[in-house]
Structures are given as structure tokens and as C-alpha cells.
Amino acid sequence: MRKILLLAAMSLVACKSVQNIDVSDYQVKEADVAKTLQYLASDELEGRDSGSEGIEKAALYLQNQFKENGIKPYFSTYFDTLSNYKDVSYNVVGYIEGKDKKLKNEFVILGAHYDHIGITEKGFEGDFINNGANDNASGTTVLSEVAKYLGKIKNNKRSVLIVYFSAEEKGLLGSKHLAEKLKNQGINVYTMLNFEMVGVPMKYDFDVFITGYDFSNMMAKLNEYAGSNLVGKSDMAEKYDLFKASDNYPFYKQFGIPSHTVSAFDFSNFEYYHHPKDEFQVMDTQFMTNIAQKMLPVVTKMINAETREIKVN
């Protein structure tokens, strides 16, 4: 009996120590970043086209990460089957329930699309697989590290959905499907933050830009939470209206909430957009690790703010 009580006490201490991890003590490992990125951008997945066997493998890989990190499915399974695409495709959705009795009814959605354009007839030097390392295995990988952290500490006041979207390349179909589905369910969404093409750095005094920066005060709040000049404005993103070009936009349309994408693709720092050379070897995993690390206090403060500090302008 004494031995059983001792083991129970040790288990309780271990559990408390995990939940009391300070964000400053948690280190994202570059080896973990590289492992996830390399798999998602591998030839085995054949460019992760929606409805393909390759993206099915990616979905199973991401589902297993959720399981390993104690993140539950939001629906009956992790797979949210799209209702608006001809082939069987699904978002992969994880759920971390909030700890605060009141704030847990508000949701923060963190997203990234994990699909790409697959195998195309136009190749390059005999390579026809568009591996999509930057677009968007990079955003998926960074989000997976944020998810891993949140899954380990489980000390969030608000509830969190971690979403890997399918069929973004087909016209934001995965995010359109989920935004409409959640709206019909009456879910109370506070804000949405999306990760897109964060595989190589930009040459600015900030790390990533935010799309649609003037639609809300999110850019200012993210920098405040980070305690640094993490996020900036991209004139090119505004010129090409990238606010409407990624998976943040359907949530803005459905819920009218602050919903933005952060990215490091500024049209001048990466020449392999939708190209077979968008591969693991040209990614900067140290930069990605740094972005993931800097995002930890940002999402922590966003999820745990006592009031809705991020607001639509």
C-alpha cells in the first residue's frame, strides 16, 4: 500500500511539473522541426495533393502527433471530411479544452494547410513531384511544434482548435468547409491565426508579416505578446490582397473576427513557388525553429488573456 501511495504521489508531482512548465523554459528542438518537415516534404507523399494517397499518409502522421501529445479530436475522429470537394479529403482537427469555467467557451483556432499540388506534367530536370516544403509543409511544421507545446502544458484558459487544412490549393476549400460547419454549430470563436510559408527568412527588421494588418489590432498585440518586433507589414502582401488568399479568410467572413495569416514569403526571398524545387533541402530549419519558439509566448498570452484584447478595427 505504501509503495502504491508513493507511486501515486510521484505521478502527481510529474503531472504538476508538466503543467507548470514556464514558456521560457520550453525549447523547440531543431531536430524535431527537421524531422516533421522532411517527412511532409518527402517524395513518398508525392506532393500531398488533396484526395491522394500521399496526403492520406500526411494526415495519419499529423493525427499520430496529436495522439502522442495528448491532443484529442474535436469531432468523433481527427478527420473532418470535406463536403465541398470531389475526392475524399479531410482537415485534421485537434482539440484542447480550456481550463477556465467561463473562457473555455471561447475558442482560438490555430491553422495551417498541409496540402499541396502533387505531381504535375510540368517538371524540372526530370522531377515532377511538387513537394511543397515551403508551401506549406513549413507552416504545418511550425504549427505542429506549437501544438506539441500546448498539448504538454494543457494550461490554456480558452479552448483551442489546432487545424491542418486540406484543399487550400483548390480554393481554400478545407477552411471554407470548417468555418461554415463551426458557424452552424454556434461555436464562439475569439480569433484565428494561420501559418503559411515560413520556411525561409526575409530581409527585414521583423521575422514574419501579417496579412490584412489593418483589419484588426492583431499585429500590435502579437508584437506585444512576443516582446519583440516579431511581426511586420508587407507592402507586397497588401498589393496582392493576400488576406483573402489563405485559410484565415473564411473565418473572417463567417465570424467577423480577427483572423490573419503570418508568413515569411515576400515574393523576393523564395523563387520556387509551386515548383518541384520547393524541397526540404532549401528550407532554413533554424529559422523555422526560431519562429516556433517565438510563437509560444504569443499563443500562450492570446489564449489566456482575460478579455478579448485582439479586436477587429
Backbone angles phi, psi at 18, to 5 degrees: -70, -45
Here the CATH number for the domain that contains residue 175 is 3.40.630.10
Above pLDDT 90, what percent of the chain?
A: 90
pLDDT given at position 18: 43
225 within domain boundaries: yes
Per-residue pLDDT for 16 more than 50? no
Q: Which single residue is written with the C-alpha cell 507545446?
A: 149
- Residue pair 313/215 in contact (Cβ under 8 Å)? The answer is yes
Close Cβ partners of 103 (under 8 Å, ≥ 6 residues apart): 157, 158, 306
Q: The pTM is what?
A: 0.93
pLDDT given at position 21: 62
pLDDT given at position 23: 80
- Other Cβ atoms closer than 10 A to 300: 20
Supply the angle between the helices 139-153 and 53-68 in degrees, to the nearest 10: 20
Structural domain of residue 253, as residue ranges?
29-304
pLDDT digits 0-9 by tens, 44-74: 999 999 999 999 999 999 999 999 999 999 9
Q: How far, in Å, CA of 165 to CA of 115, rounded?
A: 7
pLDDT digits 0-9 by tens, 91-130: 999 999 999 999 999 999 999 999 999 999 888 888 999 9
8 within domain boundaries: no
24 within domain boundaries: no
pLDDT digits 0-9 by tens, 220-278: 999 999 999 999 999 999 999 999 999 999 999 999 999 999 999 999 999 999 999 99
- Mean per-residue pLDDT, 32-41: 98
pLDDT digits 0-9 by tens, 169-228: 999 999 999 999 999 999 999 999 999 999 999 999 999 999 999 999 999 999 999 999
18 within domain boundaries: no
- Mean per-residue pLDDT, 152-160: 95
Flag the least confident range among 14-18, 33-37, 82-86, 180-184. 14-18
Give how many domains the chain has, as a whole number. Answer: 1
Strand partners, 312: 216
Per-residue pLDDT for 14 more than 80? no
149 within domain boundaries: yes
106 within domain boundaries: yes
309 within domain boundaries: no
201 within domain boundaries: yes
